């Protein structure tokens, strides 16, 4: 059953990439319509139901380190197409579902302090993404310096690498890569696509070096491969959203 779920999800991602312009245009038009409940909440509810189904089928018995990234994608998309209110509504659902899935399963109790960190980190990163996207949507024009962006990304990578090596080198927590995700969000906001992608590449390399077996780029556990893949996918989506928002703001300012 899990294989079918992942195949369907992969197919939906490919279809969304091919029809990205049409999809964004349709959802954007929907966002302009007035309804009693609000199209943003409708989208958030529909996404939540689909995500809950995927989580229940795939992760209930074995919650992978970044299984809640499936909700993070929906939160970013909801904030991008609509606003922070339905995104916060989806975040609340995601936190409740995560608490239900994490051991002891089928309850809202969380026994392991590592899982408390996991949920706290997920919530903090989600709020940060909502804030960054909301602020970008209000911006009219930003002209960052080209070299300064790489300098900022490099400096952040150095500091984050030192923190990750000291704090997580011996025991990488499930969402330790959120430390880099915060920097990628900040770089995408203050600078541009290339600088954020550069930091993402550094982050993936450092994460692979920290994950067991430590001190090499070899990744032994398939769970850790999924962790890196999920982190890269979410970061790439964030960079794409930030880039499109900034291009749209520039067009508005010029025309």
Q: Crossing angle, helix 113-138 and helix 222-254, to 10 degrees?
A: 20
Least confident of 58-72, 87-101, 139-153, 171-185: 139-153
pLDDT digit string (tens) for 191-209? 888 889 989 999 998 888 8
Mean pLDDT of 137-153: 66
Q: Are residues 246 and 150 in the same domain?
A: yes
The domain boundary residue, chosen from 109, 133, 157 = 133
pLDDT at 35: 45
Q: Are residues 27 and 120 in the same domain?
A: yes
Q: Are residues 146 and 37 in the same domain?
A: no
Mean pLDDT of 210-238: 83
Q: Model-level pTM greater than 0.75?
A: no
> Among candidates 50, 138, 126, 64, which has minimal Cα distance to 89?
126
Q: Are residues 120 and 22 in the same domain?
A: yes
Q: Are residues 10 and 102 in the same domain?
A: yes
Q: Are residues 77 and 113 in the same domain?
A: yes
The domain boundary residue, chosen from 79, 98, 133 = 133
pLDDT band at 90 (very low <50, low <70, confident <90, very high): very high
The domain boundary residue, chosen from 116, 133, 150 = 133
> Does residue 78 have a pLDDT over 70?
yes
pLDDT band at 88 (very low <50, low <70, confident <90, very high): very high
* Domain extent at residue 235: 139-255
> Among candidates 87, 82, 102, which has minimal Cα distance to 28?
82
């Amino acid at each position: 059953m899990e294989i079918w779920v992942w195949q369907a999800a992969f197919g939906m991602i490919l279809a969304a990439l091919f029809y990205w312009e049409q999809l964004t245009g349709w959802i954007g038009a929907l966002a302009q319509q007035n309804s009693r409940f609000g199209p943003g909440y409708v989208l958030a509810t529909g996404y939540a139901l689909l995500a809950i189904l995927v989580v229940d089928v795939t992760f209930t018995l074995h919650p992978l380190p970044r299984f809640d990234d499936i909700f993070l994608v929906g939160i970013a998309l909801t904030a991008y197409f609509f606003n922070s209110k339905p995104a916060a509504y989806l975040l609340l659902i995601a936190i409740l579902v995560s608490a239900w899935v994490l051991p002891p399963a089928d309850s809202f109790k969380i026994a392991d302090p590592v899982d408390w960190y996991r949920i706290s980190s997920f919530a903090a990163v989600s709020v940060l993404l909502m804030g960054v996207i909301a602020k970008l949507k209000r911006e009219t024009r930003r002209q960052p310096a080209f070299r300064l962006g790489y300098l900022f990304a490099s400096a952040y990578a150095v500091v984050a690498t030192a923190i990750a090596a000291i704090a997580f080198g011996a025991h990488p927590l499930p969402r330790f890569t959120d430390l880099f995700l915060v920097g990628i969000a900040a770089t995408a906001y203050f600078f541009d696509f290339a600088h954020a992608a550069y930091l993402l590449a550094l982050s993936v390399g450092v994460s692979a070096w920290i994950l067991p077996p430590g001190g090499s780029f070899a990744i032994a556990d398939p769970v850790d491969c999924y962790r890196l893949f999920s982190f890269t996918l979410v970061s790439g989506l964030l960079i794409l959203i930030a880039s499109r928002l900034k291009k749209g703001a520039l067009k508005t300012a010029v025309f």
